[in-house]
Amino acid sequence: MRLLGTVGVACVLGLAGCSGGQAQHAPGQSPTTTPATAAVSRGSIQSVVTLKAAVAAAPGGLVTSPAAGVVLLGSDRVVRIRRNDGSVVPVSVPSGAAVTRVLVLAGQRVPARFPVAEVKAAGFGVVAEVDPASLYRLYLPVLSAKAQVTNGPGPFSCVLLSTVPTRQAGAGSSGGPLRVTCLVPADLPVFEGMPGVLALVTAEERDVLTLPLEAVAGSAARGTVVLVGPAGENTPRSVTLGASDGNRIAILSGLAEGDRVSLSAPNLAGG
């Protein structure tokens, strides 16, 4: 999670003209440098994933199980999941879409986020492919979504066809990229193929401890930092991670407000 700029690379290679504003030292004298650190501070973080998208007519997709459990099938292709604690939760199909094919059997045990039915929208949708770097940030259900169509309607709230990324209906387990589809309100004028942007709020953390991303090895669930002690001693410290806005990340446990950590995160490759 550390970036090495062009100037830094040139200096490492020993090229001329790379003083970088540092003081000159006499021959034989070792330069003294103070590693950059960051203090753990409180703040609020909203994680937003922004994806390039395009308008599609009658887009199809998959809906997934909201929890692990046993499949219950009702009339009119209604799918429910009986969780391990005995409670029953329905598989959500948004208004404006309908189930076209059920993919599971009654009594089948499925994990959470498992595709259970194919669905198709009756109108238009804004469809975005999910790049690998954003996929883990969309592992949990999205909190809210907005879309904007280039040279068309401005930002508008929309409902996701599926709460987590899925492949296109009928594509199979390895046929095509993972996608998210947001349904366009029926009163908005759009045309198939128009480009746009989809912005998904995936998490929010308020009044939590935070650190710059470059200070943490890891970006989801768990990570490691280098805790700097009063005498400058360095100690690796495991931390529990929360939401990230691309610049800072929430620290849910492992550090206290005011702790100082190195901005050079632990690196398995060394250096």
pLDDT number for residue 14? 38
Closest CA to 57 of 191, 160, 170: 191
CA distance 160 to 138: 12
Give the pLDDT of residue 13: 36
Q: Which of 198, 228, 252 is nearest to 45 (CA)?
A: 252
Ordered strands of the 115-121 beta sheet: 60-64, 115-121, 97-102
Please report whether residue 238 resides in a domain.
no
Evaluate whether residue 199 is within a structural domain: yes
Let me know if residue 168 belongs to a domain.
yes
| pLDDT surpassing 70 at residue 18 | no
Domain count within the chain: 1
**pLDDT of res. 253:** 95
With respect to residue 127, please indicate whether it lies within any of the assigned structural domains: yes
CATH of the domain at 86: 2.40.50.100
N- to C-terminal Cα separation, the chain: 12
Q: What average pLDDT is seen over the chain?
A: 82
Domain encompassing residue 80? 49-203
CA distance 183 to 124: 6
Query: How many CA atoms, within 13 angstroms, populate the side-chain half-sphere of residue 240?
Result: 5
Tell me whether residue 173 is in a domain: yes
Q: pLDDT band at 268, cuts 50/70/90? A: low
Q: Report residue 220's pLDDT band, with 50, 70 and 90 as the boundaries.
A: confident
According to DSSP, the residues that pair with 147 across neighbouring strands are 156, 198
Per-residue pLDDT at 46: 86
Q: How confident is the model at residue 15 (pLDDT cuts 50, 70, 90)?
A: very low
Tell me which of 99-103, 202-206, 235-239 is least confident.
202-206
Query: Rounded distance, CA 39 to CA 260, Å?
Result: 4
pLDDT in tens, 25-82: 455 544 445 679 999 999 998 888 889 999 999 998 889 999 999 999 987 778 999 9
71: in domain: yes
Residue 105 included in any domain: yes
Residue 243: name the closest of 235, 234, 252 by CA.
252
In a domain, 3, yes or no: no
